Structure 1
Amino acid sequence: MSNTPYSVKQGWGVFAATVLVLLCLQAQAETLQVVTEDSSYSELRDGKVVGVASEIVEKTLAKAGVTDYHMALYPWARAYDMARLEPNVLIYPIIRSAEREPLFKWVGELDQVTPMFYKLRERRDVVVKSLQDAKNYTVGVVRDDSRQEYLEGKGFNKMVVSSNNLDNLRKLLSGQVALVPLPEREAREQCEDLHIAYEDLESVYTIDELSKGLYVALSLKTPDDTVKRITAAFAHLKDDGTLAKVMAQ
């Protein structure tokens, strides 16, 4: 008796299973991963990522007709690596710098920020009147954040690295570091999150060289059509005033 009928049937079964796996992988690859960190612009509330920047991103994706996406909050270093190395990743808010320019496809600017060095107001022993002065103290930074990159480039060697913004501020409060570089909005909201008064902090030096735009960006391997649709949708929200209205909240 010939084994041909069985072999053909078996072959078709293997083929069908392979096609199914490939289709599943393709669907997974096409899902847009939307990543951010815990900050004054985004946070996790009742299992959902919310915040002014998150609202803008969701409105942008809706207008662009992008419905297959997964929004998640990660430590900054992980979110940054995902957007830098993987296909179909949207990251926000991310500072746009000369070093990062070729690493992403840039969608649009959410906000402008200027970090300042903050100390505890009660720390009279911490005196900073220049960037050089700040090098004398321990500085708290977030791993792979643009502020860490900048300060390393300026020769700071007393940095203490945290995985997220709140841990960074906690180290200031506990005395593990003497300074943290934060924009005012971020400082105020983090103080609220930790149930302390913003007035307990004191800004001692503005880091003008770090005055940059915060952007929405896409990974390099995101399809051009997706990039065009998302970029156009973001521009529309900016032009009709939605961006400014939401970010002012």
Structure 2
Amino acid sequence: MLFATYKHCYRLLLCMSLGYSGLVFAVTAPVRLVTEAWPPMSFEQDGVPTGFGVELVNMLQVSLGQQQSIEVLPWARAYSIASTTPNVLLFATSISDERETHFDFIGPIATSKITLYAKADDSININQLSDVNAAGIVGVYRESVGAQLLQQQGVNALLVASFPQQSAKQLLFSRVRLWCQADLAVKHILEEVGAKESAIKPVYTLAEIRLYLAFSKGTPAETVQRWQTELEKRKESGEFARLYQKWFGTLPPPLENQIFWHKTD
């Protein structure tokens, strides 16, 4: 009887142990890391991912015991993967009505102004969004927040590219009159296409946005919370601010901490 009782207790402890191990695995299972070529936030240099967002995500994942490689993909592909597959981290992205149903967001990790740019010698004057339709074609890249903002406001004269560098070239070669881009990335994108900032000028700001790390629906809430906790630690220690200044100079880093859980039907 004593031996039978012992075996029963052993099995119970074993089941509890396996159940606990499964819980830990659900919390700490590595997430797939996807981003886009959007310097200085994320891009490849000699085939190696780099940029502010890449360095931040690598810093956080090491603390969480994860060593996943970061995939730098076209934005539309990265977004498609993250919006249809559980356990994926997409960065960096703003929050929109559509995205709120697909992702949990932590951050913010950066702020940026979505701006319309024209060639420096263009006499264009835009005072309100309704002036944009009459101005000419706007270059945007696929699934970007700028493209979504313009479409929502009824701006239909859009030339959609797969990469922001293509839109920059279209402006420089006068194939579009305006280029819609987040200001954080403009300098680096122009450098990539062999142009200087003096070649263009900002003519209208559509919105100021905050950028986040976005976890796909189906990612365990515990995983999202642990990433947020690690991000908070980096902000409190000053590491986040130092990394931000390395990539964005004197722009002030966003030091508040937020989690936005995805909306349910």
Q: TM-score range by the shorter chain?
A: 0.7 to 0.9
Do 2:88 and 2:215's aligned partners in 1 also have CA atoms closer than 8 Å?
A: yes
Cα displacement (A) at 1:133: 1.0
Do 1:139 and 1:160's aligned partners in 2 also have CA atoms closer than 8 Å?
A: yes
Which amino acid letter does the alignment assign opposite residue 227 of structure 2? I
Residues 98-107 or 168-177, more deviating = 98-107
Q: Distance in 1 between matches of 2:98 and 2:208?
A: 15
Task: Determine the structure 2 residue equivalent to 1:63.
Answer: 63
Percent of aligned positions with the same letter in both sequences? 27
Q: Distance in 2 between matches of 1:192 and 1:162?
A: 18
Do 2:114 and 2:205's aligned partners in 1 also have CA atoms closer than 8 Å?
A: yes
Q: How does 1:89-104 map to 2 (within 5 A)?
A: 89-104=88-103
The superposition leaves residues 105-127 of structure 1 with CA deviations (integer Å, 9 ceiling, x where unpaired) of 11211111111110011223x33
1:234 is the counterpart of 2:258: no
Which amino acid letter does the alignment assign opposite residue 44 of structure 1? E
Task: Determine the structure 1 residue equivalent to 2:20.
Answer: none
Q: How does 1:79-98 map to 2 (within 5 A)?
A: 79-98=78-97
Q: Which runs of 5 or more structure 2 residues have no equivalent in the other structure?
A: 1-24, 247-265
Q: Which runs of 5 or more structure 1 residues have no equivalent in the other structure?
A: 1-25
Q: Distance in 2 between matches of 1:134 and 1:202?
A: 15
Q: Distance in 2 between matches of 1:143 and 1:35?
A: 16
Cα displacement (A) at 1:31: 4.9
Q: Distance in 2 between matches of 1:31 and 1:176?
A: 44
Task: Determine the structure 2 residue equivalent to 1:225.
Answer: 222
Which amino acid letter does the alignment assign opposite residue 53 of structure 1? G
1:134 is the counterpart of 2:148: no
Paired positions, count: 217
Which amino acid letter does the alignment assign opposite residue 211 of structure 2? L
Do 2:30 and 2:66's aligned partners in 1 also have CA atoms closer than 8 Å?
A: no
Do 1:64 and 1:232's aligned partners in 2 also have CA atoms closer than 8 Å?
A: no
SS at match of 1:97: coil
RMSD: 1.6
Q: How does 1:170-189 map to 2 (within 5 A)?
A: 170-189=169-188
Q: Distance in 2 between matches of 1:113 and 1:92?
A: 14
Which amino acid letter does the alignment assign opposite residue 113 of structure 1? S
Q: Distance in 2 between matches of 1:135 and 1:244?
A: 39
The superposition leaves residues 156-213 of structure 1 with CA deviations (integer Å, 9 ceiling, x where unpaired) of 1100001111111111111111101223321111112222110110111122xx2110
Q: Distance in 1 between matches of 2:85 and 2:98?
A: 18
Q: Distance in 1 between matches of 2:161 and 2:112?
A: 20
SS at match of 2:175: coil
- The TM-score, its normalising length taken from structure 1, stands at 0.82
SS at match of 1:115: strand
Q: Distance in 2 between matches of 1:103 and 1:228?
A: 17
Q: How does 1:189-204 map to 2 (within 5 A)?
A: 189-204=188-203
- The TM-score, its normalising length taken from structure 2, stands at 0.78
SS at match of 2:90: strand
Task: Determine the structure 2 residue equivalent to 1:245.
Answer: 242
Q: Distance in 1 between matches of 2:210 and 2:205?
A: 16
SS at match of 2:154: coil
Moved over 6 A (4+): none
The superposition leaves residues 135-170 of structure 1 with CA deviations (integer Å, 9 ceiling, x where unpaired) of 121001111111111111111110000111111111
Task: Determine the structure 2 residue equivalent to 1:45.
Answer: 45
1:35 is the counterpart of 2:40: no
2:213 corresponds, among 195, 211, 216, to 216
